[in-house]
Structure 1
Amino acid sequence: MTREALLSLGLTTIVGLSMAVGSLLSFLVSKTNKRFLALSLSFSAGIMIYVSFMSILPEGIELIENSLGEHGKFIALGGFFSGMLVTALIEKIIHLFGGHSHCHDHAHAHNHHDEHEEHLSKLGLMSAVAIAIHNLPEGLALFTTGLKDISVAIPIALAIILHNIPLSIAISVPVYYSTGSKNKAFLYSLFVGLCQPLGAVIGYLLLSKFFSDTLFGILFSVIAGIMIFVSLDELLPSSQRYEDHHISVYGAIAGMIVMAIALNIFHHH
């Protein structure tokens, strides 16, 4: 690898490791605090929804249009909805082999507490898989940005770190609440975070000959679709399961505000 590639990979690895921070933060709150769980999940959803619609998807559209003209936005939108479709299919496969998270057939065989723990355990796994999937191309996107200009990649990396922390909470909190194991919750988050440098390495080895603004634009568009689907299908519904739905809405709005401030600070920088 070139010096630029090593610097970019190092930056991507640091970003991936930031997911461990959110996992550690989640251990500071009592396991019985359902409001924290609800707020964590909805805050993560707000972060993902805002950054997808206000940053990642527009960036994808702009990159493709710069290469292919104004009709390139239709390719970007195709990538956006394809990201949703692929994530939905993967989720179906996970539920097929792991059982549906609501477990209606066994509702009378367990008490209410056990049902919540079982749901949380599967939610943690589903969140981990879904976020790992989006971390792979996101890591590649950050890495390739660093190859082009490391000074541009640094503020992007800071923005990703800001949403990595609540995303890791979305993984570690359900796992910790359901199993009581801090080690398992931490390792889940750490592994998912390391998917970012892993995606960078795999992408570099397989796609380095095909790097272009069009490819970057498609990757960004697909990432946005994945993040929106995870937010709408998993994070927000699960947040509302554990608290009044208003708490979920407030958490999502707070996540959007934090991401808006971060993106504007880095944009002006």
Structure 2
Amino acid sequence: MGGEPSMMENVVPALILTTLAGLATGVGGLIAYFIPRPDMRYLSVSLGFATGVMIFIAFVDLFSNAREEIGAGYANLFFLGGLLTVFFLDKVVPHAHMNGRADPHCDRLYRGGIMLALGIAIHNLPEGAAVALVSMADLSLGIPIAIAIAIHNIPEGIAVSVPLYCATSDRKKASLYSFLAGMAQPLGAILAILILMPFLTDFVLNASIAFVAGIMVMICFDELIPIANSYGDEHLTNAGLIAGIFVMMVALALFQ
């Protein structure tokens, strides 16, 4: 396979990028050290921004590139597989969604915060695989993908740390759980590399990228958009979404 040497050379950078993207969740978790009381309405804009980044990069880069390499039929099939995988995980794995219903008195939030951290960790596994696979294929494309993932990991970390901080008044524990949820991302990257590396061809790589695009889009529709609307309203969400798309337009233009 012509691209195999470069893929092997990109394994370590791919793992580094994935780890840095995962650490962004912990960065978001540090918000527990700076907030006097829970007020997560501003997350509507930031989650909308992350949604714009994710959707734009999934369609404009990942899916379109995969379609050029393996054809529309295969790309569509694997994209659909990514959508169904997230849908299936949400059905069979018990976890709490980021529903934005923070109790104003900060009680009964501990269990919800723990389940939320578990839910984010579940979603971070395929996202880690996404960053790793894309980076192995094309490091210059993997960098903006990692940035996109990191951008949306920051508000996820906030959404974990705030309810846990409210429930326990323990800033350190709230931040720690956010960090641990983010570390599922490099774990996903390692698993993807170990499982796929023996079978990695151009077709497998591009099929995986189309699959990853489906995962990213489903996460946006299933998690980020409904949650962003619940924190504020659709106008704030859409403003953030448009801003996210615009930023990625500029970023990808600069990288290319």
TM-score normalised by structure 2 residue count: 0.81
Q: Aligned equivalents of 2:130 and 2:154: distance in 1?
A: 21
Contact kept in structure 2, 1:137 and 1:200, CA below 8 Å: no
Spell out the pairing of 1:49-128 with structure 2 (5 A cutoff): 49-64=55-70, 72-95=71-94, 98=95, 113-114=106-107, 121-128=114-121
Give secondary structure in 1 for the equivalent of 2:183: helix
**1:46 corresponding residue in structure 2:** 52
- Counterpart of 2:171? none
Structure 2 distance, partners of 1:163, 1:227, is: 11
- Out of 115, 122, 133, the position equivalent to 1:129 is 122
1:157 match: 142
Q: Does the Cα contact within 8 Å between 2:29 and 2:160 map onto a contact in 1?
A: no
Name whichever of 48-57 and 9-18 sits farther off: 9-18
Aligned partner of 1:15 in structure 2 is 17
Structure-2 change in CA distance of 1:116 and 1:55 (3 Å): farther
* Offset, 1:8: 1.2
| C-alpha contact 1:121 1:178 (8 A) present in aligned 2 | no
Structure 2: stretches of 5+ with no match in the other structure: 166-173
Distance 1:61 1:114, change over 3 A: farther
Supply the AA of the counterpart residue of 1:86.
T
Task: Verify the 8 A CA contact 1:171 1:188 in the aligned structure 2.
Answer: no
Instruction: Quickly say closer, same or farther: Cα 1:137–1:16, change in 2 above 3 A.
Output: closer
Name the CA distance, whole Å, in 2 between partners of 1:218 and 1:117.
40
For structure 1, which segment, 186-195 or 20-29, has the greater mean C-alpha deviation from structure 2 after superposition? 20-29
Aligned ranges 1:189-200 → 2 under 5 Å? 189-200=182-193
Structure 1: which 5+ runs fail to align?
A: 65-71, 103-109, 146-152
Counterparts of 2:24 and 2:230, CA distance in 1: 26
> 1:87, CA displacement in angstroms?
1.1
1:20-64 alpha-carbon deviations (Å, 9 max, x no partner): 145325524526231332223222211111101111000110010
Distance 2:109 2:48 in 1: 18
Q: Give the aligned partner of residue 203 of structure 1.
A: 196
Identity, % of aligned positions: 22
Larger deviation, residues 156-165 vs 43-52: 156-165
Given the superposition, is the C-alpha separation of residues 116 and 50 from structure 1 closer, same or farther in structure 2, using an over 3 Å criterion?
Answer: farther
**CA drift at 1:216:** 2.2
User: Is the CA contact (8 Å cut-off) linking 1:175 and 1:184 kept in structure 2?
Assistant: yes
Distance 1:182 1:239 in 2: 21
User: In angstroms, what is the RMSD of aligned CA positions?
Assistant: 2.8
The structure with the largest helix share of the pair is 1
Q: 1:168 aligns with which of 112, 136, 153?
A: 153
* Equivalences for residues 29-44 of structure 1 within 5 A: 30=35, 32-44=38-50
Equivalent residue, structure 2, for 1:246: 235
Residue 100 of structure 1 deviates from its aligned partner by 7.6
- Report the CA distance shift for 1:120/1:142 in structure 2 as closer, same or farther (over 3 A): same
TM-score, length-scaled by structure 1:
0.77
The reply to whether residue 142 of structure 1 matches residue 142 of structure 2 is no
Deviates more, 1:162-171 or 1:55-64: 162-171
Q: CA deviation at 1:13?
A: 1.6
* Pairing of 1:204-243 with structure 2 (within 5 A): 204-205=197-198, 207-208=199-200, 211-212=201-202, 214-243=203-232
Contact 2:10/2:139, CA 8 A, preserved across alignment: no
Partner of 1:68: none
Distance in 2 (alpha carbons) for counterparts of 1:165 and 1:137: 12
Tell me by how many angstroms 1:116 deviates: 6.8
Per-residue deviation, 1:178 = 1.8
